[in-house]
Homo-oligomer: A and B are copies of this chain.
Amino acid sequence: MDVSQLGEFGLIERLTRIVGAEGSPDLIVGPGDDAAVWRVGSEYLIATTDAMIEGVHFLPERARWQDVGWKALAANLSDIAAMGGTPLFALVTLALPPETPAESMDALYSGLGEAAREHSVIIAGGDVVRAPQVSVTVALMGRATQRDGEPLVLRRSTARPGDIIAVTGTLGDSAAGLRLLKAGAATDPIVQRHTRPVARIAAGRAAVGAGLRCGIDVSDGLLQDVGHVCEMSNAGAVLRAADLPLSDGLLAAFPDDALELACTGGEDYELLVIGAEAAVSRVPDVTVIGEIVEGPPRAMLVDSDGSEIKFANAGWDAFRS
């Protein structure tokens, strides 16, 4: 059997079982969430990693190297946001062919540095290796928000029937931006949502401060990411199509596909927060889009009549997309 038959999530589950993750009382959150949480003395460290591969996550003929650097850190920042934490420092592994122009890598690191300064993140080290194509792998460490010595984090496994689901910003813009970029419309403002995503660090902290304990970032596509919460929480979710926040730019550029892009497009890096209505209402600038329900662990999108809307594209899978 090859890994494309298992799919990304089947493979992760299989490999996680092989290495195990038991055996330390300091491991607070292990594999399967947006990031790991580890106790260090009286603090709780959040650790996450994310890789971008040339030809898979970006095409050098289309992407600017600055944007590749920015996005490599932004994807990791979003994982820290999805735990309600504060980013601290990063390690960067750069793999590249010997014939790569040094100026391209200067540009990549300048974009990385921009994203780092924006969030007071320090690039503390890394590794440089030879490879047939460029890739950037970032490991980002952060600090969990604490109260009375306990870590306050957003988990995927803590949704309960009756909880409200809300999301920051607007959905589908990154996928729309990628389409416009492919069509040569690189100056459209929506393209920036794809090339320069901004992680929702402040919203994540506001969510844990408001008492929420469930959340995930929208990186694989809304339906799939809510689906991850459903699986980990063993509950269903209903999302109302009419309530999804769609930007004017998205609606203008792709009026017919806006809903599908919002539900299945990846890399929005918006934050989903899930919990009691009173707590959700204390998080600024989020839109309520649905709720957690009893039932099979999957996310269902419904129209105003309550009928399910389905799309052919289920969202990002590393080996099937």
Contacts and interface: CB of A to CB of B under 8 A. Distances in A.
A5 B98 CA distance: 8
- The residue in A1, A91, A125, A128 that gathers the most chain B C-beta atoms within 10 A of its C-beta is A125
A56 B113 CA distance: 28
A88 B129 CA distance: 24
Contact of A14 (B40, B50, B106): B106
B35 A125 contact: yes
Interface stretch (A134-142, A206-214, A267-275): A134-142
A101 B26 contact: no
A238 B251 CA distance: 70
29 contacts: A1-B102, A3-B99, A4-B98, A11-B128, A18-B109, A19-B92, A19-B123, A21-B122, A24-B89, A24-B122, A31-B125, A35-B125, A36-B124, A38-B141, A40-B40, A40-B41, A40-B143, A41-B41, A49-B91, A49-B93, A49-B126, A49-B137, A50-B93, A53-B95, A53-B131, A55-B132, A91-B139, A128-B318, A131-B135
Copies of this protein in the complex = 2
Nearest to A101: B2
Contacts of A319: 98, 130
B113 A27 contact: no
A6 B103 CA distance: 11
Given A2-B100, A3-B101, 5 more contacts: A4-B99, A12-B128, A30-B124, A33-B125, A53-B130
Interface in A17-53: 18-21, 23-24, 26-27, 30-31, 33, 35-36, 38, 40-43, 45, 47-51, 53
- The residue in A27, A33, A101, A128 that gathers the most chain B C-beta atoms within 10 A of its C-beta is A128
B137 A89 contact: no
Given A53-B131, A109-B18, A88 B26 contact: yes
- The residue in A24, A57, A127, A319 that gathers the most chain B C-beta atoms within 10 A of its C-beta is A127
A133 B135 contact: no
Interface of A: 1-6, 8, 11-12, 14-16, 18-21, 23-24, 26-27, 30-31, 33, 35-36, 38, 40-43, 45, 47-51, 53, 55-57, 88-89, 91-96, 98-103, 105-106, 109-110, 112-113, 116, 120, 122-133, 135, 137, 139, 141, 143, 318-320
Contacts of A4: 98-99
A47 B88 CA distance: 12
Nearest to A35: B125
B96 A57 contact: no
Contacts of A16: 123
Contact of A129 (B5, B21, B57, B124): B57
Given A89-B24, A131-B135, A125 B49 contact: yes
Nearest to A22: B122
A10 B114 CA distance: 22
